[in-house]
């Protein structure tokens, strides 16, 4: 290793970190110890690195960011003894201020959407089975985010355009209607022109579900599914049903029996 090569390697070295035990840097550091000029360069380089690192470390998140994240993405489970009636009154999808603003926009734009958008103009050829297959593929094996996610800016635009499929609470099983913590996530997706809303839901026991919501007017030949139809794909169970002009597909990791139980419980109540 010559001096130039050692300098190149040492550019990526940060003292006091796990780099100290990384063999990649060992030979270059050894060379620096024997070469005063190289060592002087390394010390000056480290001083400059410290300056930049300190500048970045002084970036502080805005007040309330952590709380907003926690409010938006998760909720504590309601206490078991909490009055059921009180929980049922507070079906709140979001408590984040900007999302509440968007929800208000949605209400205003809904009427516009119903009159302006003509779903049948789209040439989508989606069956329930194809939708379930696509939903299934959303959960990638390595945990990497699916490419269909859109950013907040686009999400806002879609809310403002009223192009967001929103579930009706009374179309859902009772266990998914209760409490403040019914939903803690929303993703707007576009599957080759088919607008799909995916809501992340919790039941009262903390079990998590993904609910895909699709306007049936975009679809061809969708049967009326007054009772759920079940399907299992690679360890994920799906229940499909319709309500009004909406197709719902509920997904949960695990056997179909769990979803059946959810709907059975719903009907028993």
The residues binding other proteins (CB under 8 A) are: 4-5, 7-9, 11-12, 14, 17-19, 22, 41, 44-45, 47-49, 51-62, 65-66, 68-70, 72-74, 139-145, 149-154, 184-185, 187, 200, 210, 253
Minimum Å gap between C-beta 106 and other proteins is 18
Q: Which is nearer to other proteins, 57 or 226 (CB)?
A: 57
Output 84 or 208, the one with its CB closest to other proteins.
208
Residues 6+ apart with CB under 8 A from 66: none
Of 219 and 237, which CB lies nearer to other proteins in the complex structure?
237
Q: Least Å distance between CB 45 and other proteins? A: 5
* Cross-strand partners of 185: 200
Would you say 8 or 265 has its CB closer to other proteins? Answer: 8
Kindly state the smallest distance separating residue 68's Cβ from other proteins, in Å: 6
Q: Which is nearer to other proteins, 80 or 144 (CB)?
A: 144
Q: Minimum distance between the CB of residue 16 and other proteins, rounded to whole angstroms?
A: 9
Q: Are 185 and 71 in contact (CB under 8 A)?
A: no
Strand partners, 238: 231, 251
**Least distance from C-beta 120 to other proteins, angstroms?**
28
């Amino acid at each position: 290793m010559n001096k130039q090569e050692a300098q190149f390697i040492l550019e990526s070295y940060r003292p006091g970190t796990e780099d100290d035990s990384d063999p990649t840097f060992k030979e270059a550091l050894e060379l620096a110890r024997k070469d005063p000029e190289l060592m002087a360069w390394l010390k000056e380089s480290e001083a400059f690195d410290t300056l930049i690192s300190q500048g970045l470390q002084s970036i502080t998140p805005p007040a309330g960011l952590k709380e907003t994240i926690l409010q938006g993405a998760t909720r504590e489970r309601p206490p078991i003894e909490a009055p059921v009636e009180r929980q049922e009154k507070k079906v709140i999808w979001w408590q984040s201020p900007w999302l509440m603003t968007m929800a208000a926009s949605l209400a205003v734009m809904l009427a516009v959407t119903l009159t302006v958008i003509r779903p049948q103009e789209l040439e989508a050829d989606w069956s329930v089975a194809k939708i379930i297959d696509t939903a299934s593929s959303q959960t990638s094996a390595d945990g990497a985010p699916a490419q269909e996610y859109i950013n907040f800016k686009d999400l806002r635009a879609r809310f403002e355009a009223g192009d967001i499929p929103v579930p009706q609470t009374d179309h859902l099983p009772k266990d998914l209607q209760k409490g403040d913590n019914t939903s803690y996530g929303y993703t707007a997706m576009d599957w080759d022109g088919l607008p799909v809303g995916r809501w992340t839901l919790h039941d009262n026991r903390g079990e998590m579900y993904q609910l895909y919501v699709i306007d049936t007017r975009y679809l061809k030949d969708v049967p009326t599914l007054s009772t759920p139809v079940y399907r299992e794909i690679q360890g994920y169970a799906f229940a499909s049903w319709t309500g009004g002009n909406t197709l719902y597909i509920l997904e949960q990791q695990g056997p179909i029996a769990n979803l059946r139980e959810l709907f059975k419980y719903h009907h028993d109540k």
